[in-house]
Amino acid sequence: RDPLTELPNRQIFEGMLAQAFQRADATQAKLGLLLINLDGFKGINETLGHRIGDRLLREVAARLRSLAQPHMVARQGADEFLMLIPNDASPQVAAELASSVLVSLGKPCLLDGREASVTCSIGIALYPDDGGASALIAHADAAMRFAKSSGGAAYCFFESRMVDGFRDQAEVLRDLRRALALGELELFYQPKIHAPTGEITGAEALMRWQHPRRGMISPVEFIPLAERFGLICQLGNWLIDEVCRQIHAWRDTGLRMRVAINLSVHQLRQPDLVERIAKALHANEINPSLLTCEITETVAMEDTETTIRVFHQLAKLGVSISIDDFGTGHSSLSYLRKLPASELKIDRSFVLDLETSEDARKVASAVINLAKSLDLKVVAEGVETEGQNRILREFGCDQLQGYLFAKPMSARALALWAMDDVGPRTMNFRDSLFKATQPAEL
């Protein structure tokens, strides 16, 4: 027994649980398991002292004992308790018990002359539906963590997605490798608009993955996964080759498109990144000035030595550098001044709030002025409304990007649009995009 609370300890409880499983199997009954973890108990120990903490645990144990059937509650460790519903457990019965635990522990108790009350997080798993003997406690634990991470003072039923996150990821990762090998990835291109004239000046390449069973998977999901599992450089290399191939293919149809690609922090650490870009440009006879590399502000400011080196190599090669999602990170202005960047992109979150928030207008206007004083072009991304469009133009923003003008589209759609002027909106492409092009002078 646990000496502090005099409840059965986990070992005894597991013995009882094994017997309960046997009985349940014989009678086809269902069991319910509640795993109860106090919220913020560490804080109580730290602020009121361990002696008070111990008294609280004894009080909690007594209250749980009064709710549970005899011998069906145990202390699993620290501030964590287990409670068993030994027969005829249903989700309703379990939910009712969990509710009464929340209510009971929520009632204030007198500790050393002070009133304290605790909340707890409860995970519920049912036998046999939510797992066999070996998994039930672990599954109740996963459900408890879910309740805790959604703020605590709540109960939560086990669901398989709470533990198959990893299996899921492993599967997505395996599919991503295959997608790369089979060419299931595609690039979409979102036009950038010159604000004063409304002409298209270039496009940003964005990855798209049409998964055979899961449908479209957003890069917001698979890029972080690729980064974590070392696949991002392969993806990035594919993208560099594909963009260069596409620029060349467009040029064959008479369109001289400028394209921006997004580089991840892992690619910046890739020792042969610049060499690869140079090779791809050369192989496709592309003038490096047609390519822009977008790097998020957070990344650009984080790993300063590496980024500075790579930025200078890229600049030397003749490609442009753009600082993406600007305004969300912590920029050092003196450092920003030293970077060989030529463009800032105001983060979408500021554009979103332009019409409703004075603060967002102040940030946007300040970023535009900052960019101008540093001799950088400034692009606003995520422009969706005429109101945002008007404000940005008034502020003197150079370029605009967003659903208001065009969503990301396939390379083919962009080419058709450029040739025939049949877009969702009539839009002109800059003359320079059609000029006869010279092979790159590399």
Task: Catalog residues that contact Mn ion under the rule CB under 5 A.
Answer: 262, 294, 324
* β 154-157/120-127 pair status: parallel
Q: Which is nearer to Mn ion, 100 or 218 (CB)?
A: 218
CA distances, 80 to each of 137, 270, 319, 442 (Å): 12, 46, 58, 67
Among 399, 408, 418, 433, binds ligand G (CB under 6 A): 408
423 near ligand G (CB under 6 A): no
What is the nearest approach in angstroms of Mn ion to the Cβ of residue 388? 18
Residue 219 as a binder of ligand G (CB under 6 A): the answer is: yes
Phi, psi of 407 (to 5 degrees): -85, 165
Stretch of 116-124, 136-144, 375-383, 389-397 contacting ligand G, by CB under 6 A: 375-383
State how far the Cα of 86 lies from the Cα of 90, in Å rounded to an integer.
11
220 binds, among Mn ion, ligand G, none (CB under 5 to 8 A by kind): ligand G
Candidate residues 80, 175, 325, 343; the one interacting with ligand G per rule CB under 6 A: 325
Q: Least distance (Å) from Mn ion to the CB of residue 262? A: 5
Cβ proximity to Mn ion, 39 vs 324, nearer residue = 324
Q: Interface with ligand G includes 244 (CB under 6 A)?
A: no
Could you tell which of ligand G, Mn ion, none binds residue 335, using a CB distance below 5 to 8 A set by kind? Answer: none
Q: How far is the CB of 227 from ligand G (least distance, A)?
A: 8
| Residues in 173-212 that interact with ligand G by CB under 6 A | 190, 206-207
Q: Show the CA angle centred on residue 414, arms to residues 423 and 297, nearest 5°.
A: 110
Q: Which does 423 bind (CB under 5 to 8 A by kind): ligand G, Mn ion, none?
A: none
218 makes contact, choosing from Mn ion, ligand G, none, with CB < 5 to 8 Å by partner type, with ligand G
Q: How far is the CB of 290 from ligand G (least distance, A)?
A: 17
The one segment of 18-26, 67-75, 218-226, 278-286 that binds ligand G by CB under 6 A? 218-226
Could you say whether residue 242 binds ligand G (CB under 6 A)? no
Q: Does residue 324 interact with ligand G by CB under 6 A?
A: yes
In the complex, least distance from residue 255 CB atom to ligand G, rounded to whole angstroms: 21
Q: Which residue in the set 246, 262, 284, 399 belongs to the binding site for ligand G (CB under 6 A)?
A: 262
Query: Count of residues binding ligand G (CB under 6 A)?
Result: 19
Q: Report the DSSP beta bridge partners of residue 194.
A: 399
The per-residue b/e assignment along 405-417, b for 16 or more CB within 10 angstroms, e otherwise, is bbebbebebbbeb
The residue (of 128 and 329) whose beta carbon lies closer to ligand G is: 329
Q: Which is nearer to ligand G, 76 or 201 (CB)?
A: 201
Across-strand partners of 377?
343
> Is position 223 an interface residue for ligand G (rule: CB under 6 A)?
yes
Return the number of the residue (57 or 207) whose C-beta is nearest ligand G: 207
The minimum distance between CB 221 and ligand G, in angstroms, equals 9
| Residue 382 interacts with ligand G (CB under 6 A): yes or no | yes
Is omega for the bond preceding 224 within 30 degrees of 0, making it cis? Answer: no
In angstroms, the CA 379 to CA 398 distance is 6
**Amino acid sitting at position 244:** C
Determine contact, residues 164/72, Cβ cutoff 8 Å: no
Applying CB under 6 A, the residues found at the interface with ligand G are 190, 206-207, 218-220, 223, 239, 262, 264, 324-325, 381-384, 402-403, 408
